[in-house]
Structure 1
C-alpha cells in the first residue's frame, strides 16, 4: 500500500489549462479547443456543436493575483429556443478576469456584497489556476439562452393556434410536445 495522498475526486473540466501563478507574468497563452474538448463543451452548454473555440490572452501578475485580458472567438450551432431549428452563431468577445487566492469560505445563508470588480474574479487554491475553464465559463456567459431564429414566430403561431381552444395551459403543453 502506498502512503501517497489520494487526489480529490471530481470531474475534470472539458477544456483545462492549468498555469502556475508564479510563472504567469508576461505569458500570452493561445488556447484552442480540440475536437473532443469542443464536443464535451457543446454537451455541457446544450449546443448542437462547437466548430471553433479560440482565446488569446495576456497575463500580468502582482503578488498572487493574475490578471488575464484578451479575446474569445467561437463559432457554434445552437438550436432556436422556439422552433428548435439549428442556427449558426459567432462570438467575438473581450475577456477580462482576475485569478485570486482562495479566501474565506462563506456560510450558506450569509449575505455577501460584491462590487462590479468582484464579478470577474476566479478563486484558486495552491499555486495553479485553470485558464481553460475560465475561457469555457466565458463562452457559457456569451451564449444567448433564448436565441430565436427567423422561423420562431411561425412556429409559435402554429402551436398557439392548435391549442387556442383548449384552455390556458394547452398552449404550454403543445409547445413542450412540439419540441419532443
Structure 2
C-alpha cells in the first residue's frame, strides 16, 4: 500500500488567509479515489473550506458535495448518489496528541475530527477525501433492490434459508 494519497492539497500554516479554499480533484484523482473507496465512479467532488488558525491549531469548516456512482448493496447495479456534507475538522500538532497507542481514552464530538500533523503543513485534500469516504453509505440500496430481492426470494417476511429453521423453533405453531 502506498503512502501517497490519491488526492492531496497541502496547506502551509504560514499562508492561511481569509479566503475560502476550494478543492476540486481532477478526473484522474477522482478515478483513484473511486478505486480506493470501492465506487464505480466519482463524477464530481468539490469542497469549500474556511480555515481559521488559533496558534498551531487550525479549524477547517465548510461543505463537501459529490456525485458518485455506487453499487447497490442488494442488486449490485450501479446507481447515482449525491453527497452533501458539512465539514468540521481540526488540525492539531502531533505533539498535542497525548494518548499512548494502547491507552483507552474518552473523546468528545469535537475530538472526532481531530487530525494530527507535523511541521508547518497539513494535507487538507486527504482529510476531505476521508470525509467523503465516511459520507458513503456502504449498504445503500438502489432502485433495483426490491426487484433483486424478489428475483432471489429475499423479499417479504416469510423467512427462508438457515434462519427460517431457527425462527420456526422460536415460534412453533
Q: TM-score normalised by the shorter chain: which range applies?
A: 0.7 to 0.9
Segments of structure 1 that go 5 or more residues without pairing to the other structure are 1-8, 170-180
Task: Return the alpha-carbon distance in structure 1 between the equivalents of residues 25 and 136 of structure 2.
Answer: 17
Per the alignment, residue 75 of structure 1 pairs with 67
The answer as to 2:168 corresponding to 1:141 is: no
Query: Among residues 146, 164, 168, which one is paired with 2:162 in the alignment?
Result: 168
In the comparison of the two structures, how many residue pairs are matched?
Answer: 159
1:118 aligns to what SS in structure 2?
Answer: helix
Following superposition, the deviation at residue 33 of structure 1 comes to 0.6
Task: Return the alpha-carbon distance in structure 2 between the equivalents of residues 112 and 135 of structure 1.
Answer: 25
Task: Return the alpha-carbon distance in structure 2 between the equivalents of residues 123 and 88 of structure 1.
Answer: 33
Q: TM-score, normalised by structure 1?
A: 0.80
The answer as to 2:124 corresponding to 1:131 is: yes
Q: TM-score, normalised by structure 2?
A: 0.83
Following superposition, the deviation at residue 39 of structure 1 comes to 0.3
Query: Among residues 21, 24, 29, which one is paired with 2:16 in the alignment?
Result: 24
1:72 aligns to what SS in structure 2?
Answer: strand
Q: CA separation of 1:47/1:10 partners in 2, compared to 1, >3 Å: closer, same or farther?
A: closer
Query: Among residues 43, 52, 63, which one is paired with 1:51 in the alignment?
Result: 43
Q: Is the 8 A contact 2:79 2:143 kept in 1?
A: no
Query: Among residues 146, 154, 165, which one is paired with 2:147 in the alignment?
Result: 154
Q: Is the 8 A contact 1:68 1:97 kept in 2?
A: yes
Q: CA separation of 1:167/1:86 partners in 2, compared to 1, >3 Å: closer, same or farther?
A: closer
Q: CA separation of 1:121/1:104 partners in 2, compared to 1, >3 Å: closer, same or farther?
A: closer
Segments of structure 2 that go 5 or more residues without pairing to the other structure are 164-173
2:39 aligns to what SS in structure 1?
Answer: coil
